C-alpha cells in the first residue's frame, strides 16, 4: 500500500515538473500570503530575473506586477470555510514564454463577489492606457475604496503596468465559494 501511494506521488511530482518545464514556469508558491511571503517571493523573482538577460524595464514590470498580485491575494482572498479570521491563501506562478512573462495567481473568493469583480475586470479590460489612468484618478478622487483598501485599484494598476488585458476565470467550488484565476502578461523586449 505504501509503495503504491509513494509511486503515485512520484508520478504526480514528475508530471508537475514536466508541466512546469514545458510551460517554463520558474517559480510557484502555494500557501498563506503575508507581508513576509510577499518579500521572499519577490526577492526570489528579482534574483531569478537578474540571472536572465531581460531588460531592466521588463524586470521592473514583472517585479511590480508580482507585488500587486500578491497584495491582491493578501487583501481580497477569502477562505474555503468563509471565516473572516482564516488565513488568506493563494497560488502564484511566474512563467516565461518566447515573447512574454505570465504571472498567474489563484485564490478562493466568495461567490457573492464574483459579479462585482467580473464587472471591474471587464471595465479595466475595455480601457486603453489613457482610460485606465483616468479611471485610477477618479477612483482615488471619489474615494470609492472598499474596506479592504481597493476599488479595483490593484487591477487598474496591473493593467497599466502590463499594457495587456487581464485574463481571468472563475471555477465554482461549491455554493459559497469559487476559485479565481488572474493572468497578467508582460511583453518581453526583443
Look-up: residue for cell 488572474? 182
Q: Mean pLDDT across the stretch 73-93? A: 76
pLDDT tens per residue, range 7-32: 787 887 887 878 777 778 888 888 88
Q: Does the pLDDT of residue 178 top 90, yes or no?
A: yes
Least confident among 105-109, 117-121, 139-143, 183-187: 139-143
Predicted confidence at residue 156, as pLDDT, reads 93
How remote is the C-alpha of 183 from its chain's centroid?
Answer: 6
Predicted confidence at residue 149, as pLDDT, reads 43
Which residue did the predictor score with more confidence, 113 or 149? 113
Report the predicted TM-score, pTM, of the whole model to 2 decimal places.
0.82
d(CA 81, CA 97): 36
Whole-number CA gyration radius for the chain: 18
Q: Mean pLDDT across the stretch 32-44? A: 84
d(CA 160, CA 130): 9
Q: Which of 26-30, 84-88, 112-116 has the highest mean pLDDT?
A: 112-116
> Do residues 156 and 136 make contact, with C-beta atoms less than 8 angstroms apart?
yes
Predicted confidence at residue 1, as pLDDT, reads 45
What is the assigned CATH class of domain 6-187?
Answer: alpha beta
Q: Does the pLDDT of residue 89 top 80, yes or no?
A: yes
Q: Does the pLDDT of residue 86 top 70, yes or no?
A: no
Contacts of 41 (CB under 8 A, 6+ apart): 27, 29, 66, 70, 92
CA atoms 19, 23, 26, 27: torsion sign: negative
Amino acid at each position: 500500500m505504501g509503495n503504491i501511494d509513494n509511486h503515485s506521488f512520484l508520478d504526480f511530482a514528475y508530471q508537475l515538473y514536466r508541466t512546469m518545464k514545458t510551460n517554463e514556469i520558474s517559480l510557484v508558491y502555494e500557501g498563506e500570503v503575508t507581508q513576509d511571503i510577499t518579500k521572499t517571493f519577490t526577492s526570489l523573482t528579482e534574483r531569478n530575473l537578474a540571472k536572465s538577460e531581460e531588460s531592466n524595464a521588463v524586470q521592473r514590470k514583472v517585479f511590480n506586477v508580482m507585488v500587486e498580485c500578491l497584495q491582491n491575494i493578501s487583501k481580497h482572498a477569502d477562505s474555503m470555510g468563509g471565516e473572516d479570521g482564516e488565513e488568506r491563501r493563494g497560488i502564484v506562478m511566474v512563467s516565461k514564454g518566447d515573447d512574454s512573462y505570465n504571472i498567474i495567481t489563484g485564490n478562493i473568493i466568495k461567490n457573492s463577489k464574483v459579479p462585482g469583480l467580473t464587472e471591474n475586470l471587464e471595465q479595466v479590460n475595455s480601457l486603453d492606457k489613457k482610460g485606465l489612468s483616468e479611471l485610477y484618478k477618479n477612483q482615488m478622487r471619489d474615494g470609492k475604496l472598499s474596506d479592504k483598501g481597493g476599488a479595483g485599484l490593484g487591477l487598474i494598476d496591473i493593467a497599466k503596468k502590463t499594457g495587456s488585458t487581464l485574463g481571468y476565470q472563475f471555477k465554482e467550488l461549491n455554493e459559497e465559494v469559487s476559485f479565481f484565476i488572474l493572468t497578467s502578461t508582460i511583453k518581453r523586449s526583443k
